[in-house]
Structure 1
């Protein structure tokens, strides 16, 4: 994405609590019932939980804070990761903060050029 003049990339200010490194992409073949997932939907990732299955590749997802249930292929899902600013991304894969950022909890800084994604900060 570029600015209105098409000359430079878009920039947006965000609170640190709303940024996290992009989690490792690991292909999951099967998301079981009640698994916490992130869903690629409307140009973002949304927290949800598997509430049902419609065949081998289709999952029904409930979203946090909503009664809404939507259906997605497993390709549109990834395992939910919670970023711990002290050390790592938890769950299946571990990525230490030193690999993606510099500083400690008091002066946490992303290195220039580090790919990040925004969150609601409500996790």
Structure 2
């Protein structure tokens, strides 16, 4: 099953990584294999035991035709995962400055490296602006 996983480890808060569930590995825990993260010697994809509360289905794609606006909540693809941020500035050529509150940091992204942020709540995908 294709999923996204998160962790509370320092340096990874607010991020989601694509993975595949391999098998149950304990009570309320699953062995997953990441799709982008590799082991230390770069010979295979990283595997890890992840608690069920840190696993969600892959979000559906939301097409953003008119571009993002300042204060839109987005996920930015960076360091092999999706990181939750907010559009701080709209630049030319479909580029954006995204602010990451968790790290008090800004980075510039192309439109193709952003997606509308969605939360998995009570078994449904919800766009925060709709809550």
Q: What is the deviation of 1:17? A: 1.8
The residue that corresponds to 2:50 in the other structure is: 14
Number of equivalences:
89
Q: What is the deviation of 1:26? A: 2.3
Q: What is the deviation of 1:18? A: 1.2
CA distance 1:51–1:12, shift in 2 (3 Å)? same
Structure having greater relative contact order (Cα 8 Å, sep ≥ 6): 1
The residue that corresponds to 2:10 in the other structure is: none
Residue 50 (structure 1) aligned with residue 91 (structure 2): no
The residue that corresponds to 1:64 in the other structure is: 101
Q: Normalising to structure 1: TM-score of the pair? A: 0.62
The residue that corresponds to 1:96 in the other structure is: none
Q: Which protein has the larger Cα radius of gyration, Structure 1 or Structure 2?
A: 1
Instruction: Give ranges in structure 2 of 5+ residues lacking alignment.
Output: 1-34
CA distance in 1, matches of 2:126, 2:103: 25
Residue 28 (structure 1) aligned with residue 64 (structure 2): yes
The residue that corresponds to 1:77 in the other structure is: 114
Higher strand share: 2
